[in-house]
């Protein structure tokens, strides 16, 4: 049975936090997906999309059995069908509790994180991969996402509260990939800025590009979770443009050593087939 916090105000966001000196899984705060999905008209199962959320945490450390610090990066993936998400600051506080705790090896740490998260998110398996500092490489760092860059369009923008009315289609039927680095929203509680690059791949009537860019920009002053932004884009594009196929993929910049990257699609998504690339801003 998962543990759920229905209200993000119950979290430590925007508040002075105490830091644990020893491992404490109770620092993890689950928040239900239901409320945000109901606002999008998602009130029945199955979900209208497939996908998953991938977290990268770049500030992972613990002590080996001799007390020597180990540093690493953690990759965490769980499906969009999970009952809950994990509030991001609580994830950081949870990982901080490993800093002065001793563990046998990375495999033990992976198994502990997997168990702790699965207990709290509900209804989804969790994949955890720990990469040691000695195995770091830059092979997957890319300057930009694939596709046509909407940001080069010379358009006037004046609406900074999310407005799906900008979305429209033309008569031509196409299969194409578009992307923008201009998606910005604010933390749901603290209003700190969250930045994201978003890629939209679809088949159907051609989406008006200027309107799509204005729509993406219109998130600018909204308070949303990362995952909610991607689901909102998916739902609005489906409702307003009615493509045959649609995939929306967002890669956020990191805050507190963590970036959250979500994908939602009309087609089943294999976690292994979506490379964990890293953009320059990440």
CA 88 to chain centre: 10
- Is 128 within 8 Å of 74 (Cβ atoms)? yes
Q: Which of 80, 116, 187, 259 is catalytic?
A: 187
User: In the numeric block, which tokens belong to residue 235?
Assistant: 């739902």
Q: Measured between alpha carbons, how far is 13 from 31 in angstroms, rounded to an integer?
A: 13
Residue of 194, 196, 229, 259 marked catalytic: 194
Query: Which single residue is written with the structure tokens 């000695």?
Result: 134
**Could you tell me the two tokens for 256?**
């507190």
Place of tokens 């679809």: 202
Residue 201: how many other CB atoms lie within 10 Å: 19
> Is 229 considered catalytic here?
no
Q: Distance between CA 233 and CA 237 in Å, rounded?
A: 6
Q: Are 242 and 50 in contact (CB under 8 A)?
A: no
d(CA 13, CA 11): 5
List the one residue out of 118, 147, 122 whose CA is nearest residue 207. Answer: 147
In the chain, which ranges are E strands? 30-32, 50-63, 69-79, 84-86, 126-132, 141-142, 148-149, 169-186, 193-207, 245-252, 258-265, 278-279
Q: Is 156 a catalytic residue?
A: no
- Token match 């046509």: residue? 148
CB-based contacts of 45: which residues, under 8 Å, 6+ apart? none
Residues that are catalytic = 187, 194
């Amino acid at each position: 049975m998962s543990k759920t916090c229905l209200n993000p105000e119950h979290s430590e966001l925007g508040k002075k936090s105490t830091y644990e000196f020893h491992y404490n899984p109770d620092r993890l705060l689950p928040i239900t997906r239901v409320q945000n999905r109901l606002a999008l008209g998602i009130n029945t199962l199955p979900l209208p999309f497939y996908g998953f959320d991938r977290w990268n945490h770049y500030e992972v450390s613990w002590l080996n059995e001799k007390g020597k610090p180990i540093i690493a990066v953690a990759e965490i993936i769980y499906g969009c069908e999970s009952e809950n998400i994990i509030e991001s600051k609580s994830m950081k506080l949870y990982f901080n509790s490993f800093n002065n705790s001793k563990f046998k090896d990375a495999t033990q740490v992976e198994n502990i994180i997997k168990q702790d998260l699965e207990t709290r998110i509900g209804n989804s398996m969790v994949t955890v991969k720990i990469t040691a500092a000695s195995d770091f490489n830059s092979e997957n760092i890319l300057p930009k996402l694939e596709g046509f860059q909407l940001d080069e369009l010379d358009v006037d923008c004046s609406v900074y509260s999310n407005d799906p009315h900008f979305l429209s289609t033309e008569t031509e039927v196409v299969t194409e990939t578009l992307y923008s680095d201009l998606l910005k929203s604010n933390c749901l509680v603290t209003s700190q800025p969250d930045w994201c690059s978003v890629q939209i791949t679809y088949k159907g009537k051609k989406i008006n590009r200027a309107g799509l860019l204005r729509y993406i920009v219109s998130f600018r002053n909204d308070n949303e979770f990362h995952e909610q932004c991607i689901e909102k884009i998916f739902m609005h594009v489906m409702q307003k443009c009615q493509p045959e196929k649609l995939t929306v993929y967002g890669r956020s910049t990191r805050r507190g050593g963590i970036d959250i990257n979500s994908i939602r699609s009309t087609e089943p998504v294999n976690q292994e087939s979506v490379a964990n690339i890293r953009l320059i801003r990440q």
